[in-house]
Amino acid sequence: MLERSIFSARYCFSENLKRSGLLSDIEYIMLNQWFDYVMTQHNPQVDLIVYLRTTPEKCYERIKARNRPEEQIVSLEYLKQLHDLHEAWLIGEENTSFIRPPVLVVNGDQDKQTIRSKLFGIQKQIFEHLKQPVYT
């Protein structure tokens, strides 16, 4: 299990950098070509995405409560941009990504204990999506 992946990097983070003007056209093209190369040459498999769907406002509230120095520059606007890209990628009808695995949506606006309980409650459902390992 991964917290983030090559897919969220491509469809959310690099896309947001491009839209924000922080990536030049050539940098964006190079990142996309690298992504396409990895996809065609290595074909990484995704069994399931568990999307902790959290509003940008709740994320911002949690960042402020953590009070980490490295997170102080994260703006609500940035979180809204990333949220919209995650929604388009994972929920949107016009998904054009390489992958379209099942997406299990969990309400991330709840308190940590409720989210933890929810994840424990659906762990069987999560593990049913995992492909069986191949041994050679």
Per-domain residue ranges of the chain: 6-128
CATH 3.40.50.300 matches 6-128 = yes
Give the pLDDT of residue 17.
97
pLDDT in tens, 86-103: 999 998 876 556 566 788
Give the pLDDT of residue 3.
78
**Helices and strands (DSSP H and E) totals, the chain:** 7, 2
Low-confidence ranges of the chain (pLDDT < 70): 94-100, 131-136
Burial of 46 (0-12, 13-18, 19+ CB in 10 A): middle
Give the pLDDT of residue 135.
46
The structure tokens listed for 15 are: 């896309």
pTM of the shown model: 0.84
Give the pLDDT of residue 133.
55
Q: In this structure, which amino acid lies at residue 26? A: I
Catalytic residues: 3
